[in-house]
């Protein structure tokens, strides 16, 4: 008992906010951290990004969580837990949501000391289409909506805000009418997120470094079509916050060849990020984008942001 109390006290001391924390940046750029909390990522965190995402709860990710919230108590954090759990359309979506909470989300969160649990603002669920049906058809979107209608309040009841959807770039697919049909099926889940003081997420990648909003409206800025639809059909949902929980450059998801480091020099990427940030700042419902990724230098090599972190930290600092 004494050891547990001492550990909780040490944890609490590590996350006490700075006496006079610096203002968050007006920039909406940030990082999605994986595996390691690098020296470059520490510079970005110190510069005050509005949101920070971590993958799993091992030591480096917990250190990043504590550091960010100590420096920027008003900043928002997002946690994703990696899993290979998979559900099919034949499975009951309500039962699947309960199972996802019990098997995937609850165990690692229960192992965290209470002071650290309080540092997590938003909790994601299934990533893209890895674990559930989602955007293959209207029927899939309806299944996914029922799943999130169940999971969102469970997450809220346990002290976190749900961040629902994790929509991969270019989805929901198809023509505007086909996309809207799937969004329509997903509206009950958006309402559940709103009731739970949550958000939803899209993965905002450019395919060809375009700085044309008309082109990017189908890729990195596709979410604007979602909000156009909501303003027309469901204005009460048109201010639901969105977090772009992945972003950057991607062609086909190949870790070695699809990211910015394999498809252009750092200067070109920085120029695109500066343009993208200006666009994001036009959309008040977007809390920020966590660029994928920082920390995994072995698998996701073409997406590793360490070569960009000095520029990113300076960019954030200039916009405080």
Range 22-318 has CATH code 3.20.20.70? yes
User: What pLDDT shows up at residue 181?
Assistant: 98
Q: Within 15-137, where are the H helices? A: 39-46, 59-71, 93-100, 106-111, 114-117
User: What pLDDT shows up at residue 22?
Assistant: 83
User: What pLDDT shows up at residue 186?
Assistant: 98
d(CA 22, CA 32): 21
d(CA 53, CA 34): 9
User: What pLDDT shows up at residue 92?
Assistant: 98
Q: Over the Cα atoms of the chain, what is R_g? A: 19
Ranges in the chain, pLDDT < 70: 1-15, 17-19
Write down the domain spans for the chain. Answer: 22-318
Spell out a b/e string for 25-57, using b for 16 or more CB atoms within 10 Å of the CB, else e: bebbbbbbbbbbbbebbbbbbbbbbbbbbbbbb
User: What pLDDT shows up at residue 266?
Assistant: 96
Q: Which helix (H) or strand (E) holds 3?
A: helix 2-14
| Size (the chain), residues | 320
The pTM assigned to this predicted structure is 0.94
144, 132 in Cβ contact below 8 A?
A: yes
251-256 contacts at long range (C-beta below 8 A, 24 or more positions apart):
251/207, 254/302, 255/299, 255/300, 255/301, 255/302, 255/303, 256/301, 256/302
SS3 of residue 172 by DSSP = coil
Cα dist from 153 to 33, 183, 255, whole Å: 26, 20, 34
Q: How far is CA 283 from the centre of its chain?
A: 17
User: What pLDDT shows up at residue 4?
Assistant: 46
User: What pLDDT shows up at residue 18?
Assistant: 64
């Amino acid at each position: 008992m004494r050891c547990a109390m001492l550990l909780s006290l040490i944890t609490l001391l590590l996350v006490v906010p700075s006496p006079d924390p610096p203002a968050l940046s007006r920039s909406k750029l940030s990082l999605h951290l994986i595996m390691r909390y690098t020296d470059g990522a520490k510079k970005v965190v110190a510069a005050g990004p509005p949101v920070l995402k971590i993958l799993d709860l091992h030591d480096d990710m917990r250190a990043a969580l504590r550091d960010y919230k100590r420096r920027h108590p008003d900043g928002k954090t997002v946690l994703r837990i990696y899993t290979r759990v998979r559900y099919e359309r034949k499975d009951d979506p309500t039962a699947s949501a309960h199972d996802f909470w019990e098997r995937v989300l609850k165990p690692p969160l229960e192992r965290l000391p209470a002071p650290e649990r309080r540092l997590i603002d938003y909790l994601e669920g299934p990533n893209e289409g890895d674990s559930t049906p989602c955007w293959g058809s209207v029927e899939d979107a309806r299944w996914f909506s029922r799943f999130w209608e169940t999971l969102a309040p469970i997450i809220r009841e346990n002290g976190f805000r749900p961040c629902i959807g994790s929509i991969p770039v270019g989805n929901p697919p198809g023509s505007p009418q086909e996309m809207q049909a799937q969004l329509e099926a997903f509206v009950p889940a958006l309402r559940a997120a709103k009731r739970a003081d949550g958000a939803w997420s899209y993965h905002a990648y450019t395919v060809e470094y375009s700085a044309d909003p008309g082109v990017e409206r189908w890729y990195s800025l596709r979410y604007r079509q979602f909000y156009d639809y909501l303003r027309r059909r469901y204005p009460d949902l048109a201010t639901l916050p969105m977090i772009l929980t992945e972003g950057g450059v991607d062609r086909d998801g190949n870790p070695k060849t699809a990211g910015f480091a394999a498809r252009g020099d750092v200067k070109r990427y920085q120029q695109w990020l500066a343009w993208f940030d200006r666009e994001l700042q036009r959309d008040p419902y977007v809390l920020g984008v966590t660029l994928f990724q920082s920390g995994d230098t072995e698998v996701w090599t073409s997406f590793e942001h360490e070569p960009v972190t000095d520029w990113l930290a300076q960019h954030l600092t200039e916009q405080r």
